[in-house]
Amino acid sequence: MINAHTHLFSQGKPLNPKLATPKGQRMVATFAHSPLGKPYMAATVKHNATTLLESGVTTIRTLGDVGYEVVTLRDQIDAGQILGPRILASGPLMAIPEAMAPPLIALTSGTPEEARTAVAQNLKAGVNAIKIAATGGVTDAQEIGEAGSPQMSVEQMRAICDEAHQYGVIVGAHAQSPEGVRRSLLAGVDTIEHGSVLDDELIGMFRHNPNALRGYSALIPTLSAGLSPDLAWTGRDRHHRHPIGEFQKRGRRMVSGARQAHEAGLMIGVGTDTGMTFVPQYATWRELELLVAYAGFSPAEALHAATARQRLHSRRRCRDRFFGSRQIR
């Protein structure tokens, strides 16, 4: 299987509320980048990548790493030093100052120029995926509705896509509202992460997106992240009989978007947002069940989405374009 949206820095256990505050985040960031924290992070991402592989996942794309610890892991796997899945690593994500997840896993920028510089920094460090926080995230939302509020400007996201596309690297954007999805697609984002309710205009933009690297964009719904907290709390996930009306707003919107995208025949990838609360590293299979239970997929279509339909690889590592022409894939 291919899991197109993972994180390797945590295991899916509920976050300690104290660490979710800005102060807590700064403490965690300081530790993660310290001489003691670096080997800890390296061991953590290695362990989690192994779990993914043992659960049947042979390719992952991380979308938001603490630093470049997953780039290092990817190179060790590619060199045959460690057994692990094929990895597209994003490094830190792109966000506006004081937006989703800084300072732990974000490079912040306030203008298109600064955004280009941030992308170039990641590309030079060897990333082969780019992640944007286009709207607010659920985990850092302080009030209801904040999760989907647009954050980064279209111009800034356009600069990021332009810079990444020059090196054949696709861009994923966290977007949890129709407006966030629209702005991301306009900017040329290649994969919409999580997503929201769609309309004919948005569906048309997915199908034909001249600013995207391949002329179209795909949706990675991550139903696991949207639904797992509710399913876990109610303990009613065994047969997926959980009535949809009880899901929180974000879960419902995400399910609607996935269903609409499936009906419209858009390109849909399988991602879980692994590492988020109640989304453990071993449970990519659960996303297939959720796509079947809630988004109108047949089992064969879900398997197809997790295996054959995703085209995430860029031909060459961008670092090789910066530093030489060694062809890796």
- Other beta carbons within 10 angstroms of residue 130's beta carbon come to 29
218 CB contacts (<8 Å, ≥6 apart)? Answer: 190, 191, 192, 206, 266, 267, 268, 269, 310
Q: Which is nearer to Zn ion, 37 or 137 (CB)?
A: 137
Piece of 118-126, 149-157, 163-171, 267-275 that binds Zn ion (CB under 5 A): 267-275
Piece of 73-81, 108-116, 149-157, 272-280 that binds Zn ion (CB under 5 A): 272-280
Q: Are 52 and 3 spatial neighbours (Cβ–Cβ below 8 Å)?
A: yes
Q: How far is the CB of 165 from Zn ion (least distance, A)?
A: 21
Piece of 152-160, 161-169, 195-203, 273-281 that binds Zn ion (CB under 5 A): 273-281
- Locus of tokens 């499936």: 262
Q: Which is nearer to Zn ion, 237 or 273 (CB)?
A: 273
Cβ-closest position to Zn ion:
273
Q: What is the helix (H) or strand (E) element at residue 219, kind and residue range?
A: strand 218-220
- Locus of tokens 């960031």: 29
Q: How far is the CB of 321 from Zn ion (least distance, A)?
A: 27
Q: Which is nearer to Zn ion, 69 or 273 (CB)?
A: 273
Q: How far is the CB of 79 from Zn ion (least distance, A)?
A: 27
Piece of 90-98, 266-274, 282-290, 310-318 that binds Zn ion (CB under 5 A): 266-274
- Locus of tokens 């990838």: 269
What is the DSSP-derived secondary structure letter of residue 17? G
Q: Which is nearer to Zn ion, 140 or 273 (CB)?
A: 273
Q: Which is nearer to Zn ion, 75 or 193 (CB)?
A: 193
Kindly state whether residue 190 participates in binding Zn ion, applying the rule CB under 5 A.
Answer: no
What are the tokens at 226? 């949207």
Q: How far is the CB of 48 from Zn ion (least distance, A)?
A: 14
Ramachandran bin of 312, using left for φ above 0, alpha for ψ from -120 to 50, beta for the remaining angles:
alpha
Q: How far is the CB of 83 from Zn ion (least distance, A)?
A: 25
Phi, psi at 159, each rounded to 5°: -65, -40
Piece of 164-172, 179-187, 235-243, 265-273 that binds Zn ion (CB under 5 A): 265-273
Kindly state whether residue 65 participates in binding Zn ion, applying the rule CB under 5 A.
Answer: no
Helices and strands, number each (H, E), in the chain? 12, 9
Per residue, the 3-state secondary structure of 198-232, as one string, reads CCHHHHHHHHCCCCCCCCCCEEECCHHHHHHHHHH
Piece of 39-47, 157-165, 268-276, 309-317 that binds Zn ion (CB under 5 A): 268-276
What are the tokens at 141? 């939302």
Q: Which of 65, 237, 273, 287 binds Zn ion (CB under 5 A)?
A: 273
- Locus of tokens 């407006």: 179
Kindly state whether residue 287 participates in binding Zn ion, applying the rule CB under 5 A.
Answer: no
Would you give the binding string for Zn ion spanning residues 26-55, x where CB under 5 A is met? ------------------------------
Q: Which is nearer to Zn ion, 112 or 280 (CB)?
A: 280
Taking the C-alpha atoms of residue 172 and residue 240, their distance in angstroms, rounded to an integer, is 29
Taking the C-alpha atoms of residue 36 and residue 33, their distance in angstroms, rounded to an integer, is 8
**Interface size with Zn ion, residues (CB under 5 A):** 1
What are the tokens at 216? 């179209």
Return residues touching Zn ion (CB under 5 A). Answer: 273
